[in-house]
Amino acid sequence: MALLDVRDLKTYFKTDDGIVKAVDGVTFSIEKGRTLGIVGESGSGKSVTCLTIMGLNAKRNTITTGEALFKEQDLLGMGMRRLRQIRGNDIAMIFQDPMTSLNPVHKIGNQLTEAVLLHQDVTKKQARARALELLKAVGIPRAERRVDDYPHQFSGGMRQRVMIAMALINDPDLLIADEPTTALDVTTQAQILNLMNKLQEEFGSAIIIITHDLGVVAETADDVLVMYAAEVVEQGPVNQIFSRPHMPYTWGLLGSLPRLDAETERLVQITGQPPSLLRPPSGCRFHPRCPYVMDVCKQTDPPLKPVTGDIDHYAACHLDEETKDREATKLLAGMVAEARTG
């Protein structure tokens, strides 16, 4: 049994203009100690998926269906009291913007101990010791002194380390990181990713990492979920997604990845804008932007089908497998060739 098993998750928001289908039938699961990367453009439903699992969407005007089984208990159906016991204790979350995710009027030490005291029956002193231990583990220099500092006295990268410390302080089984490096500069990004990898080995948590950066996925994830317009369009183990992508959207994402080892003249770009989730396109939602579009794409939405020859690799595309293999090989060969000539 998987640690977290999400089945046919749908999150709809009622707005004045109509119903926005922010997540429309997402299914995935994650095992203990593994890392799942969820990739996609802004507005593809990555964050909402995770906020829904945590029950953090506003209740008003939100419709949620499906199941999210965490240790065989449905997170979506359970009462608030039980959910609160799980939040921050069994499942913890790191948010995108460390500059705004910490409360400016409380000392970071108190924000960390709050998380401990909410879930563990320990004294304030023990909680503080635990907070200090975690601050050291995430590499805050002079942690003994900084524990009584306020968030504004920390840099962005340091604040994200504090957020990570706060998330890991109760030894969660699952850590959800929503674009943990997006707001940080590139060198800090690498440090934070290394830190997360290191801590995963240490604490053994499963991680869901949400990102729009395939580079981050390549560096951290075991499995990948590619989302487009509220749906999963491709999923599988990371090496298969990178070696044999079977969906034109994934090709677009891979092609738009800048590479240091190749002198690419121009990055491939996916033309057009992500579709409105208020009125998504008919058939395959990617068809208006797809260079391989066929008539069938406009009428029927392709289901996620297993990719022959691969294990646990699924893609949603009407193209026949030969074409997909040929185009994927071409794309990757091009990238490799560029790498060689460069």
Binding footprint of other proteins on the chain (CB under 8 A): 54, 56, 84-89, 92-93, 95, 97, 100-107, 114-115, 118-119, 150, 152, 163, 166
State the virtual CA torsion across 272, 236, 213, 275 in degrees, nearest 10. 20
Q: Which is nearer to other proteins, 100 or 239 (CB)?
A: 100
Q: Residue 142, by phi and psi: left (phi above 0), alpha (psi -120 to 50) or beta?
A: left
Smallest distance from other proteins to CB 183, Å? 11
For residue 111, which amino acid is it? Q
Q: Which is nearer to other proteins, 55 or 255 (CB)?
A: 55
16, burial (CB in 10 Å: exposed 0-12, middle 13-18, buried 19+): exposed
Q: Which is nearer to other proteins, 61 or 300 (CB)?
A: 61
Phi, psi of 15 (to 5 degrees): -125, 175
Terminal C-alpha separation, the chain: 47
268, burial (CB in 10 Å: exposed 0-12, middle 13-18, buried 19+): middle
Task: Decide: helix, strand or coil at residue 196.
Answer: helix
Q: Which is nearer to other proteins, 140 or 166 (CB)?
A: 166
Smallest distance from other proteins to CB 48, Å? 13
Q: Which is nearer to other proteins, 167 or 247 (CB)?
A: 167
**DSSP per position, 13-50:** EEETTEEEEEEEEEEEEE-TT-EEEEE--TTSSHHHHH
Task: Decide: helix, strand or coil at residue 331.
Answer: helix
Task: Decide: helix, strand or coil at residue 174.
Answer: strand
Q: Is the dihedral of CA 49, 55, 56, 62 positive or negative?
A: positive
Smallest distance from other proteins to CB 309, Å? 40
Smallest distance from other proteins to CB 105, Å? 5
Query: Beta 73-74 vs 62-70: how paired, if at all?
Result: antiparallel
Q: Which is nearer to other proteins, 50 or 335 (CB)?
A: 50
Q: Which is nearer to other proteins, 175 or 316 (CB)?
A: 175
Smallest distance from other proteins to CB 131, Å? 13
For residue 126, which amino acid is it? Q
Smallest distance from other proteins to CB 162, Å? 11
Q: Which is nearer to other proteins, 163 or 317 (CB)?
A: 163
User: What is each CA distance from 289 to 23, 208, 230, 272, in whole angstroms?
Assistant: 20, 28, 16, 6
Smallest distance from other proteins to CB 199, Å? 18
Smallest distance from other proteins to CB 66, Å? 21
Smallest distance from other proteins to CB 198, Å? 23
Q: Which is nearer to other proteins, 50 or 241 (CB)?
A: 50
**DSSP per position, 58-88:** -STTEEEEEEEEETTEETTTS-HHHHHHHBT
Q: Which residues contact 153 (CB under 8 A, 6 or more apart)?
A: 146
